[in-house]
């Protein structure tokens, strides 16, 4: 368990659960839970994975189990200050990994479900660089249509990204998923997008396989 205090931030005093190699890791997996869930919930995802021996896993907790209060498709201003705090939380972990273990973004895989998936997409857009990989399980870029379509000038440098969602997910509009894939591709990512029938709001087994593949890279 880690404590990276940012007390002026809504999520700043929440814990960060860890698993795997915390002694001398050379790569990291960052997991972000969904609305109403917890860091412990998303950390259970590792039971379906074979973690490399040199991998540390980190799962931050959102205050009251919610990263931001409104739907992810409303203007960003309606989700502040929680949205900014959530993205800052991710960035503080990325910086911690570099400071504590000399792990660069190119050795960090970021994955999230639902609200956590939306944060993964938005963080990549706002902090574009070469990450090891990313998995967006039932989510998409955050903000109004106009905000989402504003393309960053940054370069994701071939970062492999899996995006998986039910094409009729009641929480995630299909159009937002396809737009997210387009924007991230335009920014230089190598995006593998899948729209499923009858999946519901959950993680497809293909998504777990994709995440395992990323960890083995």
- Domain assignment of residue 32, yes or no: yes
Which two three-digit tokens encode residue 86?
Answer: 């959530």
Write out the H or E segment, with its range, that includes residue 38. none
Which two three-digit tokens encode residue 94?
Answer: 């990325």
- Domain assignment of residue 137, yes or no: yes
Indicate the pairing of strand 108-113 with strand 55-60.
Answer: unpaired
Question: Using an 8 Å Cβ cutoff, are 67 and 122 in contact?
Answer: no
Angle CA 122–127–131, to nearest 5: 95
Q: What is the pLDDT of residue 200?
A: 96
For the segment 142-189, what is each residue's pLDDT rounded down to a tens digit?
999 999 988 778 899 999 999 999 999 999 999 999 999 999 999 999
Cα→Cα distances 154→59, 87, 197, Å? 26, 17, 33
CA distance 152 to 140: 15
Range of the domain at 170: 16-216
- Mean pLDDT across 81-103: 96
Q: What is the pLDDT of residue 97?
A: 97
For the segment 208-217, what is each residue's pLDDT rounded down to a tens digit?
999 999 999 9
Say how far residue 54 (Cα) sits from the centre of its chain: 21
- Domain assignment of residue 163, yes or no: yes
CA distance 14 to 210: 29
- pTM for this model (two decimals): 0.96
Cα→Cα distances 18→29, 59, 188, Å? 10, 6, 30
Q: What is the pLDDT of residue 88?
A: 94
Banded pLDDT at 13 (limits 50, 70, 90): confident
Q: What is the pLDDT of residue 150?
A: 82
Q: What proportion of the chain, given as a percentage, has pLDDT over 70?
A: 96
Report how many domains make up the chain.
1
CATH of the domain at 60: 3.40.50.1820
- Domain assignment of residue 120, yes or no: yes
- Mean pLDDT across 99-120: 98
Residue 8 in this model has a pLDDT that exceeds 90: no
- Mean pLDDT across 55-65: 97
- Domain assignment of residue 2, yes or no: no
CA distance 9 to 18: 21
Banded pLDDT at 6 (limits 50, 70, 90): low
């Amino acid at each position: 368990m880690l404590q990276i205090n940012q007390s002026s931030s809504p999520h700043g005093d929440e814990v960060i659960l860890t698993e795997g190699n915390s002694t001398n890791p050379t790569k990291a997996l960052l997991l972000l839970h969904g609305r109403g869930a917890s860091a412990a919930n998303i950390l259970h995802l590792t039971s379906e994975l074979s973690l490399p021996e040199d991998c540390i896993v980190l799962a931050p907790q959102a205050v009251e189990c919610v990263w931001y209060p409104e739907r992810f498709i409303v203007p960003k201003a309606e989700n502040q200050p929680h949205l900014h705090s959530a993205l800052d939380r991710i960035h503080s972990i990325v910086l911690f990994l570099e400071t504590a273990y000399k792990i660069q973004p190119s050795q960090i895989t970021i994955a999230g479900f639902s609200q956590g998936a939306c944060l993964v997409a938005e963080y990549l857009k706002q902090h574009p660089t070469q990450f090891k990989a990313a998995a967006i399980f039932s989510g998409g870029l955050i903000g109004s249509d106009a905000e989402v379509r504003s393309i960053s000038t940054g370069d994701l440098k071939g970062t492999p990204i899996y995006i998986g969602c039910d094409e009729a997910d009641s929480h995630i509009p299909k159009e937002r998923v396809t737009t997210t894939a387009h924007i991230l591709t335009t920014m230089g990512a190598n995006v593998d997008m899948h729209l499923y029938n009858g999946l519901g709001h959950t993680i497809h087994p293909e998504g777990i396989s994709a995440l395992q593949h990323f960890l083995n890279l």
